[in-house]
A and B are shown apart, each in its own frame.
Chain A
């Protein structure tokens, strides 16, 4: 019997997986960026299913919005074209895909095995292991806010310093070096 919850999970999961695979399949970076936006939007849906409303909103605003705009902006700025295949990429293709498929199958097998047999479920995983209720966590801004500004106040302030440093670093790195010699172009 499929509940609405499970159907929504499967739908959003399918979108996320399709986007992730499309990111790998596309050769043009702008197509990869758009499929990554699809992945992030689908993950925001998954967060809503898990009751994390604040995280879902931040996911859409920060990740699908700000970060991906930055990516698309840089792709357009650098006029990135279709990537070229080299010998190294073929070797990586040959070993990377089977190895990572093996890794993901192993991860999935271990997780499903441990949640199914109950060898781990008896202790740490608890009897609620297989049931996530939809209203489990009230992840609304009212509940996240006090946590963020009381218990996690110091990390929060440190991240603001990190952001400040990142902004300054980005400006310094991306700005043109002032004393760069202007080389004459050949043929002119």
Chain B
């Protein structure tokens, strides 16, 4: 028997780790991975609430979040490849122009 609050705290800590990574990392791929970490933290709280309220819709929402995250990853990594092709760097501090 695990209290709901434990799951929520774990979810919050994972989300915070994602925010830290988003802030302190300078590699654009690692920043992208931090976003995935945030999405995973939110998914955990979705599933925990679904189990708590006996509502399966929460798990369906997690499924949709995963689908959108997969689509986002495909497009985002393609953008990273395009940026790398023109800038030849993955450091976000060196990608400081809107122009390609």
Residues of A at the B interface (CB closer than 8 Å) are 3, 5-6, 9, 13, 16-17, 20-21, 23-24, 29, 32-33, 36, 39-40, 43, 46-47, 49-52, 54-55, 58-59, 62-63, 66-67, 70-71, 74-75, 77-78, 80, 83-86, 88-89, 92-93, 95-97, 100-101, 103-104, 107-108, 111-112, 114-116, 128-134, 136-137, 139, 143-144, 147-148, 151-152, 155, 159, 162-163, 165-167, 169-174, 176
Contact = CB atoms under 8 A, between A and B. Distances in A.
Contacts of B56: 137, 139, 143-144, 147
B98 interface: no
Contact of A74 (B25, B29, B59): B29
The A interface, classified by DSSP as helix, strand, loop or mixed, is helix
A96 B14 contact: no
A155 B64 contact: yes
Contacts of A143: 56
Contacts, number: 255
A81 to B, nearest CB: 8
The B interface, classified by DSSP as helix, strand, loop or mixed, is helix
B29 A111 contact: no
Interface in B34-90: 34, 36-37, 40, 43-44, 47-48, 50-52, 54-57, 59-60, 62-64, 66-75, 77-82, 84-85, 90
Given A23-B34, A47-B47, A58-B63, A111 B8 contact: yes
Contacts of B75: 166, 169-170, 173
